Structure 1
Amino acid sequence: MSFIRTVSRALVLASLIAIGAAAPALAAPADVALIQSYIGEWRGRGVLIGATTETVVCRMSVTQGNQDKVNYSGRCSLAGTQLSVAGTMVYVEASKRFEAAMSSNATFTGVAVGQKRGDGMVFNLRERDEDEEGKDLNITAQINLRPEAMEVTFSVVYVESGDSLRAEVPFTKK
């Protein structure tokens, strides 16, 4: 159960961005267009490597939200478990940055900050948390969004033992 819960949190953090960051204040049209370019249906398949190797299969739907927001909802299957995430991406003009917040069926909520890179965006997230046994975890995730492609990379490291989980899940737009 500890393995699945840890994987659940890591997938939630990395899996795909989002739930309702603050409303944008007159976001720049090019920044709004960049976020909206990810609207569509996405599929991903990758591998989680840890004590065992597991296949990760994900799907995500990205849709137009209210105002200049873009909503998403996604689900990943791993080791017989369904992990789900939902949220919203937005460009916040007041802070001149992209933000993505999320919620999940693993009771996690969080916010990631994104930056433009070339013709896409990269969101980075670093968290420190505890598993259900009270062991410290370092969780890192990077979500790289490019035209017609996304890649989610995440890792979970147990601070005390150094044991780790790592996954890379490439997505393509359908």
Structure 2
Amino acid sequence: MTIFGPLTRAVALAGLLLSATAGLAPVKAAPADVALLKSYIGEWRGRGVMIGANEETVVCRLSLSEGNQDKVNYNGRCALAGTNLSVAGTLAYVDASRRFEAAMTSNATFTGIAVGQKRGSGLVFNLRERDQDEEGKDLSISAQIQLSGDAIQVAFEIVYIDSGDSLRAEVPFSR
């Protein structure tokens, strides 16, 4: 079994905050789509479990604020086993693509764009990426962020392609 190192855990935490979540330029978003994004502006807290070789508690906070051009900016931080991860990004409805998108950068060198869709009265963002860990091993990274009602739910998984070993986490956020 692969032992997950600090960089792998940091990438996992980045996914949680994006996944939470999370430089797009919408031209002219529909008012209802902008209102839906802005309904999540505020301070969020989350606590969950990351399961890999061991089970560890993950504690996160996430701040969403109004950005330029109908965007919502976010900044987040998670703590896990002495490792801290910070992420920042933008949520937007992009008219040119006719979809919601979340862009993210992190202090773990992980970046990505998640595509969002309306589901009922909320939004679901999905991210699927391939990357390598600090030892050059291929990883499959998937994350889902659900914004629904007055809650945000983040689910994240890293799978080592060669061995099938995995690291997964779920973190519910509330205001």
The answer to whether TM tops 0.5 is yes
Whether contact under 8 Å (2:37, 2:91) holds in the other structure is yes
1:33 maps to 35
- The 10-residue stretch of structure 1 (47-56 or 102-111) with the greater mean CA deviation from structure 2: 102-111
2:68 maps to 66
1:17 maps to 21
Deviations 1:22-67 (A, max 9, x none): x111110000000000000000000001101100000011000112
- The separation in 1 between residues aligned to 2:154 and 2:21, in whole angstroms, is 10
Does residue 48 (structure 1) correspond to residue 87 (structure 2)? The answer is no
Specify the SS of the correspondent of 1:95: coil
- The separation in 2 between residues aligned to 1:67 and 1:135, in whole angstroms, is 40
Whether contact under 8 Å (1:13, 1:110) holds in the other structure is no
Whether contact under 8 Å (2:21, 2:154) holds in the other structure is no
Whether contact under 8 Å (1:17, 1:88) holds in the other structure is no
Per the normalisation by structure 2, the TM-score is 0.94
- The separation in 2 between residues aligned to 1:4 and 1:49, in whole angstroms, is 14
Does residue 122 (structure 1) correspond to residue 88 (structure 2)? The answer is no
- The separation in 2 between residues aligned to 1:109 and 1:160, in whole angstroms, is 23
Letter in 1 for 2:60: C
- The separation in 1 between residues aligned to 2:142 and 2:100, in whole angstroms, is 18
Per the normalisation by structure 1, the TM-score is 0.95
Deviations 1:5-24 (A, max 9, x none): 11211221231233x22x11
Tell me the CA shift for residue 98 of structure 1.
0.3
Q: Which runs of 4+ in 1 moved over 2 A?
A: none
- The separation in 2 between residues aligned to 1:163 and 1:108, in whole angstroms, is 20
- The separation in 1 between residues aligned to 2:13 and 2:125, in whole angstroms, is 14
1:137 to 132, 135, 139: 139
Whether contact under 8 Å (2:59, 2:78) holds in the other structure is yes
Whether contact under 8 Å (2:16, 2:171) holds in the other structure is no
Whether contact under 8 Å (2:91, 2:101) holds in the other structure is yes
Q: Where do 5+ consecutive residues of structure 2 fail to align?
A: none
Specify the SS of the correspondent of 1:25: coil
- The separation in 1 between residues aligned to 2:34 and 2:58, in whole angstroms, is 30
Letter in 2 for 1:6: T
Tell me the CA shift for residue 2 of structure 1.
4.8
Tell me the CA shift for residue 112 of structure 1.
0.8
Tell me the CA shift for residue 107 of structure 1.
1.4
